[in-house]
Structure 1
Amino acid sequence: MSVAGIARKDIADAGRSKVLWAVTILVVLSTAGVTALVTVSTDEAASQVFRLAMQLSVTTLPIVALLLAKGAITTERESGSLRVLLSLPPGRRDILLGKLAGRTALMLAATLLGGLATALVAVVTLGSGAALVAPFIGVLGLMGCAFVGLGVGISAASRSDGRATALAVGAYMIFVALWNLIITGIRLGAVELGFIESGAQPGWLTFVGLLSPNRAAVSAFDALASGRLLTTDPFGSVWLPVILLIGWLIIAPALGYLRFRNSDIV
């Protein structure tokens, strides 16, 4: 079985998950609903409404991505089908790549559904903002892929689905729920140790802030919405956050593979 064959099988298997699609629909309805409520109750410009929708989406879509990806390999391991799959021509690298491709394709489909619904609500209600639809969906899609990469990496490195679930929850808490608090703690620690002055924003701290995929996505969308594509300032342009998002998609599964490559399949 080739990488493409594994990906097709994975899409079919994961696509039948009722829990996944229930969560996806809930996320779509909540994000689109809040966006609609904002557009009818305020006179904010389209760019501000889309920024609000982005803030909502980067909080909710990672749940879908991690839920989709965290069982990519551990589910097969616990069911015993991974042993059968490994008895066929594809090796562990091909299995991981196929799983990554399949889960990424499903995440892009879910993101397209959710992003398009939210964007259409904003455009129809406001009567403007059509130019922001493509950047909005594109950045959300890339962020979703980054979290899928993280989830597949977690799944590859975990011996059980329960452990993968715990690590996925921990990843969400660190990179989404608590990231602002973590950056604040780093800043306070750096000030206390005398590395930076109070109120300063050195480049390295800004870079650390962008390491969270959802923070990178917000930065990328702000740059696109403001027309800052290739400026000399990496933190004010779109290219640095995009590189960081692509890095998550590549590096996290690669690190997971290093553990998966030599692990015993029982």
Structure 2
Amino acid sequence: MSLSAVVKKEVHQSARSYSVAGIAFFFFLFAVFLAAIHWVPVPSRNAPVEQSRLVLLNSMRQSGVFFVPLLGLGIGYDAIAGERERGSLKLLLGLPNTRRDAVLGKFVGRTLVVGGVVVACYTVVWAVTVLSYGTLDFATFGLYTLLTVCNGAVYVAVPLGFSAGMKSRQRALVGAIGLYALFMLGWDALLLGLQLVLYGAQPPHGGLPDWFQLIGVFNPSTAFMFAARAVIPAYHDLTIYPHSDAPFLQDWVGFVVLLVWVVVPLVLGYRRFEKMDIE
């Protein structure tokens, strides 16, 4: 079995998952609902951008922020640990495939499934906005969809790294959920706590220092926001983040951070997996 065969196997297996179908269903409902009611956050309603573009971006953004990480978590945490527990991992590695083939094949295959869900969902959202406003904003739709698929790759890589490096699904799931909670909720709480310790309740005159803001960008959710702003100027009107002239706080840095969050978990998970006894 070649790497491409592993990818094909993972696509078929993941696409039939009930958990993936359930998350995708609610992802679809929420995104289409926001597009159908033409919802735009109050602070952004007076932005000098076409209403149709704001509705399209916000519908994709609000739904993707929550459901894409959740989809990646649900599809990635048992990729290898689950097969180890079921005893099918020995079969996969004996066909012959290397452990590198297994990790890369599972990553690519499951990322393709996440990408397929994103494309299908966002296509309907785009169709709803086209019917509502009569504008074919294909550039915004295409760029944001592609970025969201890349963001989905991050949230496949992180739990997959845990799955490769842990001996049980439970441990992989705990590790993946812990990072998910950190990205979604804990990161801002940690930054607030650090601000209170260093500066008190009120930030210093002139704003927080650049190094402090850089810690925030290390969160892949914030990095995704930076990357989106780098290629879609209208996205600035949906996000609030202090502007800085520091080279390491420019929008393009978001792409670097996202790439790091894909590569590092996979490499660390693979290196640990390579040394493990699969018995």
The letter for the 2-side match of 1:259 is R
Deviation of the 1:227 alpha carbon: 7.4
Q: Compared with structure 1, are the counterparts of its residues 154 and 240 closer, same or farther at alpha carbon in structure 2 (3 Å cutoff)?
A: same
- Asked if residue 59 in structure 1 is aligned to residue 73 in structure 2, the reply is no
- Asked if residue 48 in structure 1 is aligned to residue 41 in structure 2, the reply is no
Q: Compared with structure 1, are the counterparts of its residues 33 and 227 closer, same or farther at alpha carbon in structure 2 (3 Å cutoff)?
A: closer
Q: Provide the residue aligned with 1:158 in structure 2.
A: 166
Deviation of the 1:197 alpha carbon: 3.5
Deviation of the 1:50 alpha carbon: 4.0
Q: Provide the residue aligned with 1:71 in structure 2.
A: 78
Q: Provide the residue aligned with 1:235 in structure 2.
A: 249
**Identical counterparts, % of pairs:** 27
Q: Provide the residue aligned with 2:184 in structure 1.
A: 176
The letter for the 1-side match of 2:207 is A
1:107-162 deviations in Å (ceiling 9; x for gaps): 11111112222333334323347131112211111111111111211111121112
- Asked if residue 92 in structure 1 is aligned to residue 99 in structure 2, the reply is yes
Please tell me whether the aligned partners of residues 40 and 55 of structure 2 are also in contact (alpha carbons under 8 angstroms): no
Deviation of the 1:198 alpha carbon: 6.0
Deviates more, 1:144-153 or 1:162-171: 162-171
- Asked if residue 101 in structure 1 is aligned to residue 108 in structure 2, the reply is yes
Deviation of the 1:9 alpha carbon: 1.1
- Asked if residue 255 in structure 1 is aligned to residue 262 in structure 2, the reply is no
The letter for the 1-side match of 2:198 is A
* TM-score of the aligned structures, taking structure 2 as reference length: 0.83
RMSD between superposed Cα atoms in Å: 2.7
Deviates more, 1:93-102 or 1:111-120: 111-120
- Mapped partners of 1:26, 1:258: distance in 2: 36
Q: Compared with structure 1, are the counterparts of its residues 120 and 187 closer, same or farther at alpha carbon in structure 2 (3 Å cutoff)?
A: farther
- Asked if residue 149 in structure 1 is aligned to residue 163 in structure 2, the reply is no
Q: Provide the residue aligned with 1:23 in structure 2.
A: 23
Please tell me whether the aligned partners of residues 77 and 265 of structure 1 are also in contact (alpha carbons under 8 angstroms): yes
Deviation of the 1:170 alpha carbon: 1.3
Please tell me whether the aligned partners of residues 62 and 172 of structure 1 are also in contact (alpha carbons under 8 angstroms): yes
1:90-112 deviations in Å (ceiling 9; x for gaps): 12112111111111111111111
- How many residue pairs are counted as aligned between the two chains? 260
- Mapped partners of 2:263, 2:249: distance in 1: 22
Deviation of the 1:41 alpha carbon: 11
* TM-score of the aligned structures, taking structure 1 as reference length: 0.87
Deviates more, 1:206-215 or 1:97-106: 206-215
Q: Compared with structure 1, are the counterparts of its residues 12 and 51 closer, same or farther at alpha carbon in structure 2 (3 Å cutoff)?
A: closer
Gaps of 5+ in 2: 46-50, 236-244
Deviates more, 1:157-166 or 1:197-206: 197-206
Deviates more, 1:71-80 or 1:53-62: 53-62
The letter for the 2-side match of 1:87 is G
Please tell me whether the aligned partners of residues 55 and 218 of structure 1 are also in contact (alpha carbons under 8 angstroms): no
- Mapped partners of 2:70, 2:16: distance in 1: 18
Deviation of the 1:241 alpha carbon: 0.6
Please tell me whether the aligned partners of residues 108 and 141 of structure 1 are also in contact (alpha carbons under 8 angstroms): yes
- Mapped partners of 1:254, 1:124: distance in 2: 45
